[in-house]
Amino acid sequence: MSTMSHGTAASHGAAVCGLGTRVEPFVFATAQYESGDWDSAPMVPANVIDSIARYTTIPVRPQGVVASLSSEAIFQYPLLYLTGHLPVRFTTREAEVLRTYLARGGLLFVDDHNHDVDGAFHKTVREEIRRVAGPLVPLPNSHELYRCFFVFENGPPTTSHEMNGWGDNLVHEQLDAVLRDGRIVVLYSNKDYSSEWSFHPDNKRFLSVDNTKFAVNLVVYALTR
Amino acid sequence: MNTSPSMMSRDPVWRTVERVRRRLRGVLLLRSVLTGCACLSVITVLLWHLQVPGLAPDSAGGRVVALAGGLLAAALVARHAQRVFFDSARAALWIEEQQQPAGPSSFALVTWVEQQASRVPTLRDSVSATDTAGWLYDRANAQLARTDIAGALWRSTRRQLLGPALFASGALALVLVSRSHGIAVVVSAASRPASLVAPEVSRLLPLGVWDVHVTPPSYTGLPARTVGDVHTVRVLGGSVLRVTGDGPLPDSVSGRAVRDDSLAQRTRVAAPMQTMENGRWTLQWVAAEVPMEFRMTRGGRTRLLLLDAYADSVPAVTLDLPARDTVLRVAAGRFPLRASVRDDIGLQSARFELIVSSGEGERFTARTVMVGEQRLNGARSATLSAALDLTAMQLGPGDIVHLRAMARDAHPQSAREYGLSDTRSFRIARAAEYDSVAVEPAPPPEVDKSLLSQRMVLLLTEKLQQRRPRMVRGDVVTESSRLARDQARLRQSVGDVVFQRLSGESSAEHSHYAGDGHEHGVDLAGGKLSLSAKVTDGMVEEGNDSPVIAINQPLLEAYNAMWDAGRELEVGDPAAAIPHMKLALAALERARAASRLYLRGKPPTVIVDVAKIRMAGKDTGVVSTRRARDLVPSRDAARDARVVAAAQLVARDAEAARDSIAVLRLEVVADAPALAAALDALLQTMARGGDVTDGFVRARRVLGGVVRTEAGVWSRAVPP
Amino acid sequence: MTAPRGASVAAHPRRALERVLRAVAVGTLLVCLWLSLSDATGTASVAHALRGDTAFWSEPSGARVRDSLRARLMHLSSEETVGLSMALPGVPAQSARALLGAWPAASRPIRWHDATGARGLALSVTPVPGPVGGLDVRAAVTDTGAVVLRDGGGVLDSLQGAGRVAWRLASATGTVRVQRGASTARVPVPMRVAARRVRLIAAPGWEAKFVTAALEEQGWTVDGALRITGTASVTLGAPQRLDTAGYAVVVMLDSAALDGTAEDGAGIARFVRQGGGVVLAGDALRAPTVAAIRPARATEVRRGIAGALLTDRPRGGLDAWEVVLDPSAVVLEQEASDHGHTEPLVMARRVNAGRVVASVYRQTWRWRMEGSDEGLAAHRQWWHALVSAAAGVSVAPTGAVASYPGDAAPYADLVARIGSPLAELRNRTQAPGDSADLPSRPMSLGPSLRDRLAGRRELLFIIAAIALLGEWASRRLRGAL
């Protein structure tokens, strides 16, 4: 059964990715902003792309891109990933572009690489998000984000970094989000997924449980909701 | 005693009588004219007041009616006068009547005049008439001499003309006044104070004329102003608004925010303060920061007051110097800082804010410094200057300074937002910044999901210790063993980290332990670990078939302390476990603080081989349902319907139509300026009383309700 | 004193005048006698003139026309060939037209002069299918001139048009009227029809996401399934069996593999033939499953112009297919290309009872995300227009009774009921083979002079009276007897 589904899936993949119909692939984009270290997690895109390819038939470009927040290039990528350690301050242009991006239907995923609620990234980026999109509210663990592909019963999966007491030494039970009409436009994570997913995708085979499955949920949510 | 007509005309008596006759006749004609004028005025005023359709005083019909009435009255009076006074004999009789003092009336004058007047040419030569005429003439002359004709004429004129003249002038005055001021005001002009509006309007207004007075909030320093009787008033949020009018208090006052957005929904509409004084009512509000609409009702009629309220905006701050971000080699020097600040009302203070972040890898700390604080005391614009001394800030390599300027205006709300500028950053370069190491990072260690952190275990133990005196021994032991199991799990995980391998099965399935034949670099003795003598500084060991990540000493200490604590808990002695736990916690903190080998540099570019791994994952997803998006309501359709409804209302009730257009304009001025402009033009046309068809057509066009499409063969058009 | 008989007429012009007047009076009386005699002979001729001003004819209830006809009928109960003649100053109201239409339907002659000043004008108002509503208004005018569009709320538009003119209205109240000169066509605003659902067939991706978003934001209900893996999918709405009762339109965005259980190419073709609509967008034009029903065949991709998404012609910035049209396809929208010919952008085709609409654009989501600020609303409205162009409307044109257009085309309705006016009939012979349900043409004609005189009996009496009185007055004043 699994081979048959594998085969069908492979043919699906071929029909979908083949040259005959030229379906547009999904591109994972990392946001580049001016203040701070936007490139603190360079392995995350590869890992997420790897997970998408492993678990779904969604066509995906093998390499991620970097899109600057101050240019209109981010409009080409309706899902955007932003992380860092240092304080984040959007320039006027970046704030304006981001506001337009979110109003038109984009989704921004922000992850605190410090995993520290007392840290500069957390405080500054939350203020910037509030100025651009609105206040962040806790996302209930029954939200469809946790059930749209893989099912996460207890909400967002915990990361080893927060379990090990790095950062603020707290286990965050929920993610925060800015919701518009029930849809997530900004998803904010304190759980340090940037560190969790910062390894070479080939090393996934050493893990008994793949900790990047939540990324697949995020991408499926962004592509379909 | 000549009786020929030519001599008759030279006869003094005859001339006098004729003079009197003409004078009296003139007076009577004048009287009839005055009566006619008075009648005309009265009819005009009546038509004005009664408002008979088709007979408005200005129209032709009205004028004809009034003129006809006047002429009729004049004719009647004149006719009466003619019957009475156009005769010479009657004039003579009148002269006789004026005789002073009243003596026996001789009627000589009358008789003589009658004789003279009635002579027909054939009887002119009668002798008896001549005789009598001589004697009669003398008596008539004497009578005439006795009478004060001039005075009598004057008295008679005055008596006859005074009444009608007064009547006529009063009526004319009434007409003139009512044409320009309206009857209602004429009636009660004495009691009403002066107002700023033409009294014609007061006849139509439901609540009468009112005065609107606006006092801006005290912090702005703007003067209060009286706006008069207006329909829409533009105010700053927080201003005090006072409306004063005549008569009793309005029966009901209701207010609502005009727009439907989230800000409006959060705004509470406060009830106005109502007072009565000297027969005038006063309502007082504090205006909110969103446009509002107030309806006041009295006697079944409603009037609208629209507040076009706007909020005090946050100051606009621009950071002029430094102009760009910089990377510095050495943290030394002074940089000038300059920012320009502007506000619509007045600034209070401004300063520069710096966030200094230092650290590397995963550990960063930050501190905030304020520089160059300046009080601005209500200035509308200012320039903020300061100097940034990098030497004094004691920055080290790798530190980053984020700089921005912020300003606050004089608004009294304490949680008021600051106006913020863009952020510039200075970075101090690290010495080894451009070295690069290519490392394939390892996945993070696996952790049991139900793991509590050490801190948590410590907290729970302390709580147990506090409750211990009140608990039964058996319960204490049970709780304590539960905590011991958690502690053991923690210890296991720390042990896993210590023994982690890079290749082979994951540590959860196959844990290493001392004495398993592999060289780890740690020894297990009595349950505790210690660094083996072979490996002294815990570096990566090569050549072994089980290389181990470098261990640091604190982790070992933590492991051992956890072992001790677990042992104490197993025997049910939480008090003894606590110091061990604290030691373990401290060791973990140190392990955290120790520099980890988290090598970062330019990582290799990973390109995923999508085709190879497609659907290679073992897990599959589930079918999920997507919730549909909500309809984005088309505001234009609702607004179009309101414009159409107002157009249909114009014919019946112009005031209500104007009110609804004014409310709609206030609602759309924020997001549809073109429509607001079209509605503005429409309102002005309505105020002028002109033809509003074009205005409505333009408003509907702007709303986009009417689009010309191509009428092709296909039955449906695709609009361009 | 009368002058001697033998005096010449020239010497007494007054007498000559009197004689002339007498002759006129006698002649007029003879004409009246002749008219009344000739009416009574019973030849097929028009007996009654129906006259009235514009208000008489255009009264909405037609009561005055009815009363007037009834008054005439009362007098002529026994006559067989009572005809009717009139000169119409304006197009009568619908009830008046219906009353008049009964005359020829009862085989009575009727003829009329066209003094209406009105010409052909026809109006049609169709509701736009979909949840938002809207009206598609089309008017046909036979000559150029100012055409004014009105509804219950006032004037909507006025333009100089000839041939066909069309509008898309967001809403209208009361009656939609189009006026051209003296003619006015009226159609009451039709009721909104309940919108059926839209079925989406697409692979998961940005295009599927944003097209669904655009349609749902316009109020459409979208059903479908986006296949993520072989077993996992994301369900939109509650998809059911594809049939015209529940679904109005199927939107295909690419040639994602169609599930054999829910629908496939044959199912879609059957859906279309039964009256449904299909929108083929972008890559779906290449799908082999819809090759039989598509209006055009896509050949190769034409790249969008860089930066055009921010201009006032944003669709120029989207990638588009170059297509080869099917012979039965109709082009709804096209643009001039650099190579001299026009590039079709939106095509449509009828397949039995259904419609297939195709758009050449790929990845229209870029218009929404990368376009200007109006792009969001414009993208939504464009997709709504595409879907409503394919959806069927099951509403009959209102205002029409049987085969008569009614107030939607008043002049045509008048001619259909009572035939063409006199001037036209004189110029051509009666056309053979008229359809059975149209009323028969008016019967044989008499000399027009008699018609006119018959309608002017009062005038004849006045002429006679004046002539006689004048003669008498002249004689009396002369002093003669």
> Which chain B residues are Cβ-neighbours of A216 within 8 angstroms?
621
| A60–chain B Cβ distance below 8 A for any pair | yes
| C6 pLDDT higher than 60 | no
Q: How many domains does chain A have?
A: 1
Beta strands, E only, C7-127: 48-50, 84-88, 110-114, 121-127
| B127 pLDDT higher than 50 | no
Distance CA B95, CA C450 (A): 84
- Answer whether residue A9 is part of any domain: no
Determine the average pLDDT of the residues in C91-103: 83
Smallest CA–CA distance from B617 into chain C, residue: C229
Q: Could you tell me which of C244, C199, C194 has the C-alpha nearest to residue C225?
A: C199
| B499: helix, strand or coil | helix
Question: Taking the CB of residue C81, how many other CB atoms lie within 10 A of it?
Answer: 15
C24-71 pLDDT, tens digit per residue, is 999 998 888 887 776 554 444 445 666 677 777 777 777 887 887 777
B27-37 pLDDT, tens digit per residue, is 888 888 888 88
| B133 pLDDT higher than 70 | no
Distance CA A22, CA A19 (A): 5
B40-64 pLDDT, tens digit per residue, is 888 887 777 666 666 666 677 878 8
* Predicted local confidence at residue C27, as pLDDT: 92
Is B575 found in the same domain as B458? yes
Distances, alpha carbon C318 to alpha carbons A60, B719, C301, C330, in Å: 21, 18, 10, 22
Task: Quote the tokens at residue B222.
Answer: 């703007």
pTM over 0.80: no
Judge contact between C210 and C365, C-beta under 8 A.
Answer: yes
Burial class, C399, CB count within 10 angstroms (exposed 0-12 / middle 13-18 / buried 19+): buried
> Which chain A residues are Cβ-neighbours of B631 within 8 angstroms?
none
Distance CA C128, CA C122 (A): 19
* Predicted local confidence at residue B197, as pLDDT: 36
CB contact under 8 A, C136 and B636: no
Distance CA C91, CA C96 (A): 9
* Predicted local confidence at residue B279, as pLDDT: 80
Most confident option among A64-68, B179-183, C427-431: A64-68
Which of the four pLDDT bands, split at 50, 70 and 90, describes residue B717? low
Instruction: Provide DSSP, B611-647.
Output: HHHTT--S-----EEEPPPPP---HHHHHHHHHHHHH
| B536 pLDDT higher than 50 | no
Cis check for the bond before B322: say yes or no (omega within 30 of 0): yes
> Which chain B residues are Cβ-neighbours of A36 within 8 angstroms?
400, 425
Which of B657 and B200 is assigned the larger pLDDT? B657
Nearest to C154 among B615, B693, B716 (CB): B693
Instruction: Report the range of poorest mean pLDDT among B169-183, B253-267, B434-448.
Output: B434-448
Query: What residues contact residue B693 under an 8 Å CB cut-off, 6+ apart?
Result: C154, C155
| C106 pLDDT higher than 80 | no
User: Which of A6, A23, A76, A213 should be substituted to probe chain C, the one whose Cβ sees the most C Cβ atoms within 10 Å?
Assistant: A23
- Answer whether residue A19 is part of any domain: no
- Answer whether residue B448 is part of any domain: no
| C165–chain B Cβ distance below 8 A for any pair | yes
CB contact under 8 A, B696 and C153: yes
Give one word for B27, left, alpha or beta, with left for phi > 0 and alpha for psi -120 to 50: alpha
What is the maximal distance between C-alpha atoms in chain A? Answer: 55
Determine the average pLDDT of the residues in B206-210: 78
Judge contact between A193 and A211, C-beta under 8 A.
Answer: no
- Answer whether residue A14 is part of any domain: no
Distance in Å, alpha carbon of A198 to nearest chain B alpha carbon: 7
* Predicted local confidence at residue B262, as pLDDT: 63
Smallest CA–CA distance from B417 into chain A, residue: A131
* Predicted local confidence at residue B80, as pLDDT: 76
Q: How many Å from the N-terminal Cα to the C-terminal Cα in chain A?
A: 30
CB contact under 8 A, C231 and A5: yes
Distance CA B178, CA B44 (A): 10
Which of the four pLDDT bands, split at 50, 70 and 90, describes residue A10? very low
Q: Which residues of C touch A (CB under 8 A)?
A: 203-210, 213, 226-232, 234, 254-257, 283, 286-287, 301, 362-363, 365-366, 368-370, 373, 375-376
| A68 pLDDT higher than 90 | yes
* Predicted local confidence at residue B440, as pLDDT: 52
Is B290 found in the same domain as B158? no
**Helices B693-702, B673-688: crossing angle, 10 deg rounding:** 170
Q: How many domains does chain B have?
A: 5
Which of B364 and A7 is assigned the larger pLDDT? B364
Domain containing B31 equals 5-181
In B86-210, where does DSSP find H-type helix? 88-97, 108-118, 127-146, 149-181, 183-188, 199-204
Task: Quote the tokens at residue C123.
Answer: 């109006």
Question: Taking the CB of residue B327, how many other CB atoms lie within 10 A of it?
Answer: 11
Burial class, B631, CB count within 10 angstroms (exposed 0-12 / middle 13-18 / buried 19+): middle
| B267 pLDDT higher than 80 | no
- Answer whether residue A4 is part of any domain: no
Residues 123-162 of chain C whose Cβ lies under 8 A from any Cβ of chain B: 126, 128, 131-133, 136, 138, 149, 151-157, 159
Distance CA B67, CA B412 (A): 70
* Predicted local confidence at residue C258, as pLDDT: 57
* Predicted local confidence at residue C370, as pLDDT: 93
Which of the four pLDDT bands, split at 50, 70 and 90, describes residue A130? very high
* Predicted local confidence at residue B253, as pLDDT: 84
Task: Name the percent of chain B lying above pLDDT 70.
Answer: 74
Is B160 found in the same domain as B57? yes
CB contact under 8 A, B619 and A213: yes
Is B320 found in the same domain as B287? no
| B266–chain A Cβ distance below 8 A for any pair | no
Judge contact between B94 and B20, C-beta under 8 A.
Answer: yes
Q: What rounded mean pLDDT belongs to chain B?
A: 76
| B302 pLDDT higher than 70 | yes
> Which chain B residues are Cβ-neighbours of A9 within 8 angstroms?
614-615
Is B171 found in the same domain as B23? yes
Most confident option among A130-139, B68-77, B207-216: A130-139
Which of B426 and C216 is assigned the larger pLDDT? C216
> Which chain C residues are Cβ-neighbours of B707 within 8 angstroms?
167-169
Instruction: Report the range of poorest mean pLDDT among A171-180, B584-593, B668-677, C270-279.
Output: B584-593
Distance CA B374, CA B385 (A): 9
Task: Quote the tokens at residue C266.
Answer: 């044959």
Determine the average pLDDT of the residues in B369-382: 88
> Which chain C residues are Cβ-neighbours of A76 within 8 angstroms?
366, 369-370
Is B101 found in the same domain as B64? yes
β-sheet bridge partners, residue C464 = none
- Answer whether residue A2 is part of any domain: no
Question: Taking the CB of residue C188, how many other CB atoms lie within 10 A of it?
Answer: 15
| A3 pLDDT higher than 90 | no
CB contact under 8 A, A13 and B400: no
Task: Quote the tokens at residue C356.
Answer: 């297939």
Is B257 found in the same domain as B355? no
Which CATH number covers residue B250?
2.60.40
Determine the average pLDDT of the residues in B534-561: 54
Judge contact between B66 and B25, C-beta under 8 A.
Answer: no
* Predicted local confidence at residue C296, as pLDDT: 93
Contacting subunits of C (3+ beta carbon pairs below 8 A) = A, B
Q: How far is C-alpha C410 from the chain's CA centre?
A: 9
> Which chain B residues are Cβ-neighbours of A10 within 8 angstroms?
614-615
Task: Quote the tokens at residue B250.
Answer: 């309005």
Rg (CA), chain C: 35
Q: Which DSSP symbol is given to B548?
A: B
CB contact under 8 A, A49 and B608: yes
**Helices B108-118, B127-146: crossing angle, 10 deg rounding:** 130
CB contact under 8 A, C154 and B696: yes
| B437–chain A Cβ distance below 8 A for any pair | no
| A184 pLDDT higher than 90 | yes
* Predicted local confidence at residue B202, as pLDDT: 40
Q: What letter represents residue C12's amino acid?
A: H
Which CATH number covers residue B424?
2.60.40.10
CB contact under 8 A, B423 and A148: no
* Predicted local confidence at residue C427, as pLDDT: 46
Smallest CA–CA distance from B625 into chain A, residue: A148
Most confident option among B534-548, C92-106, C320-334: C320-334
Most confident option among B447-461, B472-486, B601-615: B472-486
Distances, alpha carbon C245 to alpha carbons C196, C259, C352, in Å: 8, 21, 17
Is B210 found in the same domain as B173? no
Q: Could you tell me which of C7, C315, A56, A66 has the C-alpha nearest to residue B719?
A: C315
Q: What letter represents residue B291's amino acid?
A: P
Question: Which stretch of DSSP H or E encloses residue C480?
Answer: none
Q: What rounded mean pLDDT belongs to chain C?
A: 80
Determine the average pLDDT of the residues in C131-153: 85
| C262 pLDDT higher than 80 | no
Distances, alpha carbon C290 to alpha carbons C203, C269, C274, C286, C331, in Å: 16, 7, 16, 8, 19
- Answer whether residue B71 is part of any domain: yes
Question: Which stretch of DSSP H or E encloses residue B302?
Answer: strand B301-310
**Helices B88-97, B108-118: crossing angle, 10 deg rounding:** 170
Judge contact between B405 and B317, C-beta under 8 A.
Answer: yes
Judge contact between B251 and B280, C-beta under 8 A.
Answer: no
- Answer whether residue B143 is part of any domain: yes
Domain containing A59 equals 25-224
Task: Quote the tokens at residue C45.
Answer: 């001729």
Distance CA B597, CA B587 (A): 18
B430-445 pLDDT, tens digit per residue, is 776 655 555 555 555 4
| A36 pLDDT higher than 90 | no
* Predicted local confidence at residue C254, as pLDDT: 84
* Predicted local confidence at residue A144, as pLDDT: 93
Distance CA B481, CA C245 (A): 67
C15-33 pLDDT, tens digit per residue, is 898 999 999 999 998 888 8
C352-371 pLDDT, tens digit per residue, is 999 999 999 999 999 999 99
Burial class, C375, CB count within 10 angstroms (exposed 0-12 / middle 13-18 / buried 19+): buried
CB contact under 8 A, A114 and B364: yes
B143-160 pLDDT, tens digit per residue, is 888 888 888 888 888 888
Give the residue carrying structure tokens 């004063």: B244
Determine the average pLDDT of the residues in C329-358: 89
Distance CA B442, CA B498 (A): 15
- Answer whether residue B599 is part of any domain: no
* Predicted local confidence at residue A69, as pLDDT: 93
| C325 pLDDT higher than 90 | yes
Is B359 found in the same domain as B303? no
Which of the four pLDDT bands, split at 50, 70 and 90, describes residue B491? confident
* Predicted local confidence at residue C319, as pLDDT: 92
Smallest CA–CA distance from B647 into chain C, residue: C153
Is B320 found in the same domain as B364? yes
Distance in Å, alpha carbon of C131 to nearest chain A alpha carbon: 20
Distances, alpha carbon B372 to alpha carbons B342, B418, B699, in Å: 17, 16, 53
Instruction: Report the range of poorest mean pLDDT among B231-240, C86-95, C417-426.
Output: C417-426
Determine the average pLDDT of the residues in B639-651: 84
| B126 pLDDT higher than 60 | no
Instruction: Report the range of poorest mean pLDDT among A36-45, A82-91, C3-12, C364-373.
Output: C3-12
Which CATH number covers residue A90?
3.40.50.12140
CB contact under 8 A, A76 and C366: yes
Cis check for the bond before B720: say yes or no (omega within 30 of 0): no
> Which chain C residues are Cβ-neighbours of A13 within 8 angstroms?
none
Smallest CA–CA distance from A159 into chain B, residue: B447
Judge contact between A23 and A60, C-beta under 8 A.
Answer: no
- Answer whether residue A195 is part of any domain: yes
User: Which of A27, A58, A85 should be substituted to probe chain B, the one whose Cβ sees the most B Cβ atoms within 10 Å?
Assistant: A85
CB contact under 8 A, C369 and A104: yes
| C429 pLDDT higher than 80 | no
Q: Could you tell me which of A36, A39, A34 has the C-alpha nearest to residue A93?
A: A34
- Answer whether residue B434 is part of any domain: no
Contacting subunits of B (3+ beta carbon pairs below 8 A) = A, C
Is B516 found in the same domain as B418? no
| B543 pLDDT higher than 50 | no
Distances, alpha carbon B329 to alpha carbons A154, B426, B430, C472, in Å: 49, 11, 8, 133
Distance CA C478, CA C481 (A): 9
Is B204 found in the same domain as B176? no
- Answer whether residue B402 is part of any domain: yes
